[in-house]
Amino acid sequence: MQIEDPNAPTVFELIGGAEKLREMVDRFYDLMDLEPEFAGIRALHPASLDNARDKTCWFLSGWSGGPNLYIERFGHPRLRARHLPFPIGISERDQWLRCMAWAMEDVGLPEDLRKRLMHAFFQTADWMRNKPE
């Protein structure tokens, strides 16, 4: 068993806190909006991405060990249930992950942190799949 060092910085701190997280999430949705390779997942979202920007930012704040902004507002995220209205397969999962990898690189997160986050995002995104292909 591995005991976590209670003094180790959280991923939220490693990212650079609330401001940097917002920058990353904004870049993620800007890329989703702009890049043709993400048109598939863009089309699942409403015309305005404002809501998704705020909610993803609040969610990732708590998920990364920072303030639990999403849970304070909405309670348990029930993320898989909330994504059931959207058909998510391998292609949608991979578009989401690629878009996030790109955003993290654009805002200048260090490579070791990006790798660590990608590993964690993969688990969450893969768990969100709700159709076979």
Nearest approach in angstroms of CB 112 to ligand HEM is 19
**Residues 20 to 49 in contact with ligand HEM, rule: CB under 6 A:** 41, 44-46
**Residues 79 to 108 in contact with ligand HEM, rule: CB under 6 A:** 79, 82-83, 86, 88, 92-93, 96
Q: With respect to ligand HEM, which residue has the nearer C-beta, 2 or 85? A: 85
Q: With respect to ligand HEM, which residue has the nearer C-beta, 8 or 84? A: 84
Range list of β-strands (E), 46-119: none
Residue 16 CA to residue 25 CA, distance in Å, equals: 13
Q: With respect to ligand HEM, which residue has the nearer C-beta, 6 or 46? A: 46
Instruction: Tell me if 129 sits within 8 A of 93, measured CB to CB.
Output: yes
Residue with tokens 């890329």: 31
131 is a contact residue toward ligand HEM (CB under 6 A): no
52 is a contact residue toward ligand HEM (CB under 6 A): yes
Give Cα separations from 33 to 30, 38, 44, 65 (angstroms). 5, 8, 11, 28
Q: With respect to ligand HEM, which residue has the nearer C-beta, 7 or 37? A: 37
Nearest approach in angstroms of CB 28 to ligand HEM is 10
Instruction: Tell me if 10 sits within 8 A of 16, measured CB to CB.
Output: no
Residue 16 CA to residue 11 CA, distance in Å, equals: 9
